[in-house]
Amino acid sequence: MKRRIIYPELFYLIFIVLNLINAFVITSGIFHPNISPYKMDILSLMFSTLGNIGVLSLIVIFSLVVFKSTKKRLNFLVIITFVLSAFCIFLAVFGNIFGLFFDFQQLKSFNNPSEGVFILYYLTYALHMLTDISQFAHLIPFILIIIVRLLTDTSLEPKFKLHRLQAGALTFVNFLFMAMAIMFTLTKVSMTPYKDAINPIFGSTNAGLYNYYIYDLLDYLVEDNEPISLEDHVLITEFLNKKNGNEHINPIDGKTYQKENEYTGLAEGMNLIAIQLESFTSLLIDLEVNGIEITPNINQIVKKSRYYDNFYSTSGIGNTSDAEFSFNTGLYGNGRNLTIFDYVGDNYPTIARGFNKKGYDTFSLNGDEGEFYNRYIEHQRTFGYNRYYDCRHFEGEYVHGFINDYDLLDQTADMILAEEGPFFNFIITSTSHSPYMPHPSIPQYDYGKVSNLVQNFLDYMIYLDECIGAFMKKIEPILDNTVVIFYGDHSSSLFKKDLETIWGRSIKKYELRYQMQKVPFFIYNEKLFEPAVDNTAHGTVDIFPTMVNLFGLDPVPTLGFDMLGDEAGFVYSPRTYDIFFDDFTLAAPSKTTYRKEISKEEIDKYYQIWSEYIKINNLILKTGYYD
């Protein structure tokens, strides 16, 4: 008796349909709160479907031409379904960690000497995600195709014979489908503010997931930066001059503001220490878990500082390196490219170059190898520091490939205390970098019923806090004449269920997005600043104009807003295109708001303001405006 009841032709159709569904599920972001999906209109749905069908049909045609038996064809398509399902899972992991889809440009990160170590880290996150049933969804098509395969009669040959001419004609038609979808996407993106750095979620939504990634691979292989045109140069210059005039009109509230304010030059002649806190998010401030205060030393500094509790990371895909870039140049990454590899040069106006002109000693340091992100070159060439020190300058134990922060900060304090004139020191902490795995040097605490990831994460943050406390105590003799700023570089990559174990309650998707992009910023000098909490929206790019004004450095036209002024501002994420205002967040891809509802007219107004900013920012990067 025959139990196999499915004909091969139906199997081929089911193969296409199941993989189409998987593509739409991942693109929609249904199960992934960190992914910011785009609305799919009728044309987007039509062309993305055509693009995906084109790719999947070509795979079926390939199986029919190459393999001589139905059994081999079906087995091949089962393997392809597994590959495509695994790719969707990879995009889900990537999207939940970084807030956007993978882009082939990001392969450049493996130029870093220790990047391969983090493959284990990403694998750990993938396994952590698969414990959540909603993430398991991308394996369902593979499971179903196996069931269908078992029910298919492999003794049958297709009722149709695919001759060479027919195969060629069908191949041409499917390539035409793919090309039409790509042309539609490129035309549509040309009318968006991110046309100079196409978002892979946008590309997948409009061209089809599988189709877009074929295009993205080809684009990566032939990419070439465009030289700046006279038209672009004039456009950028006019925009920067208009925004940064001594008297200028703010587009958000329509009011006129002065460039100078009560803090202009207030710290002139004083030292500056900037500390970039690895993976340090705002949720850690004043956090207690199971009766344990996670950051008691930092909390005490915050209470004596001007603290910004509505501050956001402006990192793109470069994570830590993009935070460094934004801090030093006042520019955003474009979210797609690794800025420190693709958009470097020796003519950027930077904080360090401003201090160099004032006769300061400027130096930067971190606990990793200088070859990582080319820091040993770019901290001096692109950022303009007089000196850069990596792990080889310091003595101490290594934790996950980095000199531990205690020894890094302790020896840095010795360098600072030996300075004879004014200085600017930029410190990048490293120990709290993922992966958060138990280490003999990191004490463990009992936080009660939290996830394993949270357990390890909090242990590392307590350690970082102790390192900061010891550092600040050691440099007490110079604190009266020194401004110290602290900021988190990017999110901690915790998942929704991890946060829920910390807070002991369920959270909504938008709350996760909002909280995971918030990082702290606080500026400490008890002579200059009264303790205060500032609720205005700001981000990493705003540190640059704030320090320029506070220390009386040469004015620089910038996209950021001075955090010590009273001008209305906003900040956006190059990953998710969430735009943060004082009391609401606008998700640009879907043109929806959370935290507060506003009218469609207001949404259009704020979207247009942001569109101009991101267009200018990405043009500056793409065309080498400062070269």
- In Å, what is the CA distance from 199 to each residue of 193, 230, 241, 349? 11, 26, 28, 27
Quick one: tokens of 496? 């929704």
- Would you say residue 116 has pLDDT above 60? no
Residue 226 has pLDDT above 80, yes or no: no
For residue 159, the model assigns a pLDDT of: 63
Q: Is the pLDDT of residue 302 over 70?
A: yes
For residue 400, how far is the Cα from the chain centroid? 22
Q: How many CB atoms lie within 10 A of CB 169?
A: 11
Give residues with Cβ within 8 angstroms of 507, minimum separation 6: 496, 499, 500, 515
Lowest mean pLDDT among 141-150, 205-214, 251-260, 302-311: 251-260
Question: What type of residue sits at position 507?
Answer: I
Position 363 confidence tier, pLDDT thresholds 50, 70, 90: very high
DSSP type of residue 597: -
Cα 353 to Cα 382: distance, rounded to the nearest angstrom:
10
Confidence of residue 30 (pLDDT cuts 50, 70, 90): confident
Give the Å distances, CA to CA, from 421 to 98, 265, 585.
41, 18, 44
**Could you report the per-residue pLDDT of 419-452, keeping only the tens digit for each?**
999 999 999 999 988 778 888 999 999 999 898 8
The pLDDT score that the predictor gives to residue 229 is 82
Which residue ranges make up each domain of the chain?
Answer: 8-222, 230-256+269-623
For the domain spanning 230-256+269-623, the CATH number is 3.40.720.10
Lowest mean pLDDT among 7-11, 52-56, 152-156, 391-395: 152-156
Q: How confident is the model at residue 1 (pLDDT cuts 50, 70, 90)?
A: very low
Q: Which amino acid is residue 151, in one-letter code?
A: L
Evaluate if residue 63 carries a pLDDT over 50.
Answer: yes
The interaxial angle of helices 200-207 and 164-189, nearest 10 deg, is: 130
Tell me the C-alpha distance between 340 and 158, whole Å: 53
- pLDDT tens digits for 522-538? 999 999 999 999 999 99
pLDDT digits (tens, 9 = 90+) for 259-273: 889 999 999 999 999
Higher pLDDT, 36 or 201: 201
DSSP string, 83-114: HHHHHHHHHHHHHHHHSS---GGGGGGGGSTT
Local structure of 552: helix, strand or coil: coil
Q: How confident is the model at residue 82 (pLDDT cuts 50, 70, 90)?
A: very high
Task: Give the dihedral of Cα atoms 612, 37, 102, 215; nearest 10 deg.
Answer: -80
The closest of 108, 623, 60 to 343, measured between CA atoms, is: 623
Distance CA 429, CA 279 (A): 9
